[in-house]
Amino acid sequence: MNKQPPPAKSEPRRRNVDPSQPPTAWRLIETPAESGARNMATDMALVDSFRAGGPPVLRFYRWWPPCISLGRNQPAKDYYDIEEAKRRGIEFVRRPTGGRAVYHHHEVTYSVTLGDRQLGGPRRTYETVHRALLAGLRLLGASAELIGDPGLGLRPSTVPCFEKLDGGAIISGRRKLVGSAQLREGGVLLQHGSLLLTGDQSPTVDLLKIAWKDDASEPPTALDEILDHLPTWAELVDCLASGFERLLGIQLIESVVDEEEKRRMVQHSRRFSDPEWTWRL
């Protein structure tokens, strides 16, 4: 088992932005690798901040230790071998968003927090955010595209997220590269998702107690398969952030999680670290 943590967070980079235009200004936040519970708590703390009158937020983050996140309404209780997961050093967390199981290890995770009608509603937001990610991926030189009909989502299931193609997903060569999920609550929309750096999603299947197989499914792809070399974290974030700025016509202003958000993170962490929440279904 690899016990080495991910690389340290890169030094902050200054973006050429004009903070005098609040209507188009979004916060850009990078956070260091955290546990699944703390990552979900941070996203929810940013939802709270937006609801309280803050600007939209684009966040990039990583996970440590490795973690399988479960969709909000996905059946999971008694489906997974928890002891084997512990032996492998893999945690579980249940997301506040929908969707299916994802293994988080070698990836870039993004989250977007904004008004639920700001980009035209949940379905339009899903597609628009993915188009922004796609613009950033193409700046990296990645050959990728969007599946049509973003209205075709994945129903709750033990079938892993990256084993099935959903409308609006980002793919390369008919294989899934980015999977995302949403929460719409109190006028705020949270969308977060995973861009795979390597394609190993096997724990989402290996740790299931009930054998699952679908010969029609395609394994996921990853950046290490479609690029000559993996970019650095700084290169990844810069290109992906630039994709959002170019496609949405926004300005991203570097920010950090503030003290009030940290306080709310502690409160939200109690739910996401509680087995009663994780294994409620």
How far apart, in Å, are the Cα atoms of 250 and each of 24, 26, 118, 142, 257?
A: 5, 7, 13, 23, 20
Region for residue 201 given its phi and psi (left: phi exceeds 0; alpha: psi -120 to 50; beta: otherwise) = alpha
SS3 content of the chain, % helix, strand, coil (to 5): 30, 25, 45
Write out the E strands in 201-255. 251-255
CB atoms within 10 A of CB 160: 23
Provide the residue count of the chain: 281
- Candidates 244, 260, 180, 227; CA nearest to 26 is 244
Provide the H-helix boundaries in 52-121. 82-88
User: How far apart (Å, rounded) are the C-alpha atoms in residues 261 and 244?
Assistant: 24
Strand 57-61 to 107-115 pairing: antiparallel
How far apart, in Å, are the Cα atoms of 18 and each of 26, 28, 78, 239, 280?
A: 11, 14, 52, 19, 46
Question: 161, 189, 222, 252: which is the annotated catalytic residue?
Answer: 161
> Cα 89 to chain center, whole Å?
21
Residue 239 bears catalytic tag: no
**12 DSSP assignment:** P
| Catalytic site positions | 161
